[in-house]
Amino acid sequence: MILNRFARVKLRRCALAAAAALALAGAAAADEPLREIRDPHYGDTLFHYFQDHYFTALTTLMVSQHFGRVAHHADEAEVLRGGLLLSYGLQREAGAIFEKLIDQGASAAVRDRAWYYLAKIAYQRGYLEQAQQAIGRIQNPLPAPLQEDRVLLQANVLMARADYAGATALLEGVDGKAPSARFALFNLGVALIKAGDATRGTAVLNALGQQTAQDEEMRSLRDRANVALGFSALNEKQPLAARAYLQRVRLQGQQANKALLGLGWSSAALQEPRQALVPWGELAQRSSSDSAALEAQIALPTAWAELGEYGQALERYQAAISSFERENLALDESITSIRSGSLVDSLIEHNPGDEMGWFWSVRELPAVPHPDHLLQLLAQNEFQEALKNYRDLRYLARNLDAWREKISVFSDMLATRRKAFAERLPRVQAEVKTSAMAALRQRRDSVASEVARGAGAGEPAVFADARQLDLLQRVASAQATVAGSDPELEPYRERIRLAAGALSWQLAQDTPQRIWNAQKELRAVDAQLLQAQQRDAALTLAQRDEPVRFDAFERRIAALDPLLQTMALSVAALTTEQRTAVQELAVAELLQQKQRLAAYSALARFALAQLYDRASAQPEAPHAATP
């Protein structure tokens, strides 16, 4: 049980990180060049993903897939979507995605990752045979983070099927430098012990129990290994070895209470009740919400009784009974608080988050009468998952409410757009009529003909500017003035002839450039006329299509509103149901603690009665003789 619980936590922590590696890296190893994101919408999804906005990433990706915007990353996008769905516990939907990828003949890298996720899903659902088959279909090594998880997953499957020898052979091949190496060592030690090789299994766990640890997770794993060794030694009637193992456990770690309890039992087994008083005395002072502390409150007076200190034993038994009664009342108060609904809602409100997410966890406890009871509840994976589901349902409810508000906004936007279209259409139509497209086309053709005539006939005057036209007129007027045979006007006629020649030469020089400019301007006019014709055609289409589009949007909005209302009601019902389930899980755990209290209280009362019986059965001391 220790192995499976620990490995499942490790695998869950890698779920979303693995999905990102799948989507970004494909089958590429860590030392291969980075993949290019060819579809901007896929990059947008990854942007939200790496901002820890998993719900937005998922919905954005699904919209992009619907409109065919991630064609270059189709398989990777499906794997990412399946990983995100799986992270929310939607195992059936995720499994359908991975099976579809396999059936469609995806690339080998995508198929291997899909088989890995199918194996993970099958294992989580308890389908061990299917999980083993899926793992066997993986043909190539997965990317580094997934490959480590794959080994741990396969080892868990083998151990769950009681194939401890197979799990041992698999775990012995784990690279000692891998990040998951210590988890593999822990699993290997347990597998060896389960397989009957207690000597090697103990050696592996013993080595792990003495290693240096750099972080809290590794220190907790080391403590867990030492506790497992200690209680295994106690079961094997080796109290000295058990004491050595348990003394390595930190006094303030998560395994401290179990270690103190085991230390006391090892001393008791060695017939050293006075030595047992130290760990049991420390443990008895700790919170009564822990079962080890409750057991210590019974064991401590037993040790005093074995030492012959019946007064101390009697006092300790009475103190234990009083403590059990107080704890029983405290449990009743916690149960009442839970059933009122305030506890569950307070946990969510004191630990807010932007969106739904697998990595959400409770980091701050609300003000409750007995917070120690919450610690016991939050240590349970089942309660944590149920609480996450309740939080996600609350988020969905808020999201649906926001969308219902947006629907009304969309209705207003559509009405505004329809009104604007109706108001602007007559003005645009009037502008189109006054533009006189036919007249503009006719005028353009006239200018084009004139340009062609001037260019073909070799008439430079056609391309003269205003100044040159004025000079041409002045020359013609002057020539008319000096016309005739008067010899006195001959010098003037010569000068006018020279001026006319210079003007003709200038026109001849400028004509090619002006012809090119005129043709260029005609092309620009043609482009503008074409654009105007296209706009006119678009306007004609808009008059026909826009009212149809408005009607289609109106129907979609009208259809979405009742759908959102139905979904909101469904989510509200599920939220209430899930809240009740969370409360019942919490209450069930506290009721189990009440049962343990009742059993310990009965033991304490029985032992107290035995002490009274022993005291009453002792003969009275003889009276001294009268002189």
Q: The domain spanning residue 18 has which CATH number?
A: 1.25.40.10
Task: State pLDDT tens for residues 64-115.
Answer: 999 999 998 888 898 889 888 877 767 778 878 878 877 777 778 878 887 8
Token couple for 152: 């741990």
Whether the per-residue pLDDT at 181 is higher than 80: the answer is no
Residue 316 in tokens: 């300790």
- Highest mean pLDDT among 27-31, 161-165, 363-367 belongs to 161-165
3-state SS, residue 488: helix
In whole angstroms, what is the distance from residue 78 CA to residue 544 CA?
A: 39
398 — pLDDT class (breaks 50, 70, 90): confident
Tokens of 191: 């597998």
Residue range 54-63: mean pLDDT, rounded: 90
Cβ–Cβ under 8 Å, residues 75 and 110: yes
pLDDT band at 359; cut points 50, 70, 90: low
Residue 358 resides in a domain = no
Residue 593 and residue 332 in contact, taking contact as beta carbons nearer than 8 Å: no
Residues 6 or more apart whose Cβ sits within 8 Å of residue 339: 583, 587
Query: What is the pLDDT, as a whole number, of residue 367?
Result: 63
In a domain, 496, yes or no: no
| Distance of alpha carbon 167 from alpha carbon 27, whole angstroms | 26
Q: What is the mean pLDDT of residues 285-313?
A: 86
Q: Please determine, for residue 292, whether its predicted confidence score (pLDDT) is greater than 50.
A: yes
Length of the chain: 627
Please say if the pLDDT value at position 479 is more than 80: no
Residues 6+ apart with CB under 8 A from 485: none
Residue-level pLDDT at 207: 87
Count of domains for the chain: 1
Number of Cβ atoms within 10 Å of the Cβ of 521: 12
Per-residue buried b or exposed e for 52-71, using 16+ beta carbons within 10 Å of the residue's own CB: ebbbbbbebbeebbeeebbe
In a domain, 183, yes or no: no
Would you say residue 303 has pLDDT above 80? yes
Residues contacting residue 204 through CB under 8 Å, at least 6 positions apart: 185, 188, 189, 192
What residues have CB less than 8 Å from 52, skipping those under 6 apart?
A: 354, 355, 357, 359
Helix (H, G, I), strand (E, B) or coil at 10: helix
- C-alpha 372/C-alpha 125 separation (Å) is 31
Q: What is the pLDDT of residue 82?
A: 86
Q: How much is the average pLDDT of 351-361?
A: 59
Find where tokens 């129907």 sit. Answer: 555
Q: What would the DSSP string read from start to end of 358-386?
A: TT----S----S-HHHHHHHHT-HHHHHH
Q: Half-sphere exposure of residue 454, counting CA atoms within 13 Å on the CB side?
A: 20
Q: Cβ distance 294 to 330 under 8 Å?
A: no
Residue 362's pLDDT band, with cuts at 50, 70 and 90, is low
The percentage of residues in the chain with a pLDDT greater than 90, rounded to a whole number, is 12
Beta strands per DSSP E along 321-406: none
* Percentage helix, strand, coil for the chain under 3-state DSSP, each rounded to 5: 80, 0, 20
Count of CB atoms situated within 10 Å of the CB of 244? 17
What's the confidence (pLDDT) of residue 30?
A: 36
Q: What average pLDDT is seen over the chain? A: 79
Q: Identify the three-state secondary structure at position 140.
A: coil
pLDDT of residue 460: 67
Structural domain range at position 123: 1-161
Identify the CA nearest to 333 among candidates 551, 587, 519, 623: 587
Of 227-236, 252-261, 505-514, the poorest mean pLDDT is in 505-514
In the DSSP assignment, the letter for residue 3 is H
CA distance 62 to 60: 5
Q: What is the pLDDT of residue 484?
A: 72
Lowest mean pLDDT among 4-8, 276-280, 525-529: 4-8
pLDDT of residue 488 exceeding 80, the answer is no
Residue 139 lies in a domain: yes
Q: Is the pLDDT of residue 14 over 60?
A: no
Per-residue pLDDT, 600: 87
Write down the pLDDT at residue 40: 92
Which of the four pLDDT bands, split at 50, 70 and 90, describes residue 373? confident
Read off the pLDDT of residues 577-590 as tens digits, 9 standing for 90 and up. Answer: 988 888 888 888 88
Exposure letters 455-467 (e unless 16+ CB within 10 A, then b): beeeebebbbeee
The fraction of the chain above a pLDDT of 70, given in percent, is 84
